[in-house]
Amino acid sequence: MVLSLGILDIGKQYFYGQAKTQIFDSRRDLGIAAAQRASECIHNAILDRGRARVMIATGNSQLDVSTALVEQTSIDWGRVDLFHMDEYVGLDADHPASFRRWIKERIVDRVHPASVAYIEGNAPDLKTELDRYAGLLQQQPMDVAFIGFGENGHIAFNDPGMANFFDPLAMKCVDLDPECRAQQVNEGHFKTVDEVPRQALSVSCSGLLRARSWICCVPEGRKAKAVHRALNGPIGTACPASVVRLHLDARVYLDRDSAALLGPPVND
């Protein structure tokens, strides 16, 4: 059933540039639909190449899709290699806000993939760690990358001041802007902004763009402005998520709240 949400309809698909976008009635419905699409991509990659490479996004916006993903019975996790896209500099893997811990507890410990490659944000030599992880990424493109939109429009930790769509690096050390750091507090990962690390290791925009398929889960009203800027605004690094409209196989999954400010598609 298609329901009206202002000038857009819940359940109907819209194209913003290349990005196929759909609005769902709830976060749960959004997560289930995104997980089903991911399952298809993973299954096809395994049929084609015997293995699938999957990059996991973390954070509150990814809770519903991660829950639904591990319940997909059609995924042969024994043939899936997992990667993640960013980690705070200096944070131990067992810290409550560590993205390594997020992935381990919500994905790895539940489905036991063939392998998992973590970004070691507390490595003693960050340059060596960046080179190591970049080498892993460059072996083959990801089959699926889960991409969230930050409140400031970031993808991974490519904030507006650090993003480069043509970055020569696959991995980089980035400075986190104030809005990004405030988001981490608002989501409950840290008690104060001062506790949020000022730097992170992140897959670059160009590194993300190498993935064959993007699955972008962006629920909640606090993401409504970022969604509007990404899909209705100019394509550029002032809103890094806007590059989703240039990816050849990107799906954007929204709920009522995150789509509240979204206008109809226009030609880019």
Distance CA(263)–CA(268), nearest Å, equals 14
Most confident of 114-118, 175-179, 190-194: 114-118
Per-residue pLDDT of 84-107, as tens digits, reads: 999 999 999 999 999 999 999 999
DSSP, collapsed to helix, strand or coil, labels residue 265 as: coil
In the structure encoding, which two tokens stand for residue 165, read together? 């769509």
Domain assignment present for 264: no
- Kindly report the average pLDDT of the chain as a whole number: 94
Strands of 150-198 (E only): list them. 171-175
Domain assignment present for 7: no
Is pLDDT of 7 > 50?
yes
Domain count, the chain: 1
Domain assignment present for 237: yes
- For 34, residues 6+ apart whose C-beta sits below 8 A from its C-beta are 65, 68, 146, 215, 217, 251, 253
Domain assignment present for 268: no
What confidence score (pLDDT) does residue 2 get? 45
pTM, two decimals, is 0.94
What confidence score (pLDDT) does residue 267 get? 61
Is pLDDT of 1 > 50?
no
| Domain housing 218 | 15-255
Three-state SS annotation for 160-171: CCCCCCCCCCCE
Is pLDDT of 266 > 50?
yes
Lookup result for tokens 């970031």: 154
Please report which helix (H) or strand (E) contains residue 64, including its range.
helix 63-69
CATH of the domain at 158: 3.40.50.1360
Domain assignment present for 265: no
- For 48, residues 6+ apart whose C-beta sits below 8 A from its C-beta are none
Is pLDDT of 121 > 80?
yes
User: Residue 46: is it exposed, middle or buried by C-beta count within 10 angstroms (0-12/13-18/19+)?
Assistant: middle
Per-residue pLDDT of 140-174, as tens digits, reads: 999 999 999 999 999 999 999 889 999 999 999 99
Domain assignment present for 138: yes
The residue count of the chain comes to 268
In the structure encoding, which two tokens stand for residue 101, read together? 């811990």
Neighbours of 206 (CB within 10 A): 16
Domain assignment present for 251: yes
Per-residue pLDDT of 196-242, as tens digits, reads: 889 999 999 999 999 999 999 999 999 999 999 999 999 999 999 99
Domain assignment present for 8: no
Handedness of CA 12, 216, 114, 106 (dihedral sign): negative
